[in-house]
């Protein structure tokens, strides 16, 4: 019996066993539809033939293996626990089985769903923050408008204060000028008073002197009576 025939018989036995188990477990009515599971258990042998000792009686389909050496019909593999052995190449696939792909797709879909939910929650949070920032911006704009109004008032007050200061400076200059003119007028008045006093003094002195002169001159020029007239 050839190796290929033995392998075919082994596969047929496995399929038959699975079919028998399915039939035995099925209910008595035959109108329900069932499918045979694609789960397969592959033995791992010590060497690259069916005559070698079986090291592992059932490697479940979908088990991940590492290829150590590949021959025409057999490959030496290493399991996750480090054990090694030989398995027929017909049971080795370059891609995971459909069940694993489906499970992987389901996990990816779940991760995508989780990321979508996280993104939705983040979007909701950002929307709430955006609304809060809009309110803060509105309040800031109102506050800015009020500050701008106060600033304009302060500028107006400052302009008025500058005008008042300029007016004060001008008034101070005018006051100083008037004070100077007043001092000059007072000095001139004092000078005139002194001159007037001196003039009246001169006039008085002249009048006194004139009186003295008259007193001295008048008796001298009065005609004397003759003595005969007196006798």
Q: What is the pLDDT of residues 125-136, one digit of tens each?
A: 898 888 889 888
| Residue 218 predicted with pLDDT over 80 | no
What average pLDDT does the segment 103-114 reach? Answer: 74
- Does residue 165 have a pLDDT over 50? yes
- Lowest mean pLDDT of 3-12, 126-135, 138-147, 176-185, name the range: 3-12
Q: What pLDDT is recorded for position 231?
A: 46
Q: Show the DSSP H helices in the chain as ranges.
A: 3-25, 98-221, 227-230
Per-residue b or e along 92-129, where b marks 16 or more CB atoms closer than 10 Å to that residue's CB: eeeeeeeeeeeeeeeeeeeeeeeeeeeeeeeeeeeeee
Q: How many helices (H) and strands (E) does the chain have?
A: 3, 5
Residue 184 neighbours by CB distance under 10 Å:
10
Burial of 61 (0-12, 13-18, 19+ CB in 10 A): middle
- Residues 76 and 86: their CA atoms lie apart, in Å, by 4
CB 38 within 8 A of CB 97: yes
Q: What percent of the chain has pLDDT over 70?
A: 73
| 82-92 confidence digits (pLDDT tens) | 999 999 988 88
Q: State the pTM of this model.
A: 0.32
Higher pLDDT, 57 or 154: 154
pLDDT > 90 fraction of the chain, expressed in percent and rounded: 7
As a whole number of angstroms, the distance between CA 9 and CA 1 comes to 11
The CATH number for 39-94, chosen from 2.40.50.140, 1.10.10.10, 3.40.50.2300, 2.30.30.40, is 2.30.30.40
- Range list for CATH 2.30.30.40 in the chain: 39-94
pLDDT for the residue 11: 52
Is residue 213 scored above 90 in pLDDT? no
At 22-38, the pLDDT tens digits run: 544 444 444 666 665 56
- 49-74 pLDDT, tens digit each: 989 998 887 888 778 888 999 888 99
pLDDT score at 217: 75
Q: How does strand 66-70 pair with strand 74-78?
A: antiparallel
Residues 6+ apart with CB under 8 A from 75: 67, 68, 69, 86, 87, 89, 92
> For residue 76, what pLDDT is reported?
92
- On average, the pLDDT of the chain sits at 76
Specify the pLDDT at position 95: 73
């Amino acid at each position: 019996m050839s190796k290929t025939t033995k392998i075919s018989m082994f596969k047929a036995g496995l399929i038959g066993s699975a079919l028998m188990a399915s039939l035995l477990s099925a209910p008595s009515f035959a109108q329900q539809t069932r499918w045979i599971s694609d789960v397969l258990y592959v033995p791992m042998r010590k060497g690259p033939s069916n005559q070698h000792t079986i090291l592992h009686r059932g490697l479940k389909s979908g088990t991940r293996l590492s290829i150590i050496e590949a021959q025409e019909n057999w490959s030496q593999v290493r399991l996750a626990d480090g054990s090694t052995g030989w398995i027929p190449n017909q049971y080795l696939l370059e891609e995971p089985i459909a069940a694993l792909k489906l499970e992987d797709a389901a996990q990816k879909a779940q991760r995508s769903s989780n990321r979508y939910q996280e993104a939705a929650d983040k979007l909701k949070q950002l929307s709430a923050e955006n609304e809060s920032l809009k309110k803060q911006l509105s309040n800031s704009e109102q506050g800015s408008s009020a500050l701008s109004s106060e600033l304009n008032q302060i500028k107006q007050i400052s302009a008025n204060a500058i005008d008042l200061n300029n007016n004060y400076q001008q008034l101070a200059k005018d006051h100083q000028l008037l004070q100077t003119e007043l001092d000059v007028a007072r000095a001139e008045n004092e000078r005139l008073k002194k001159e007037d006093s001196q003039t009246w003094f001169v006039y008085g002195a002249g009048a006194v002197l004139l009186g003295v002169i008259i007193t001295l001159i008048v008796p001298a020029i009065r005609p004397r009576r003759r003595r005969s007239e007196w006798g």
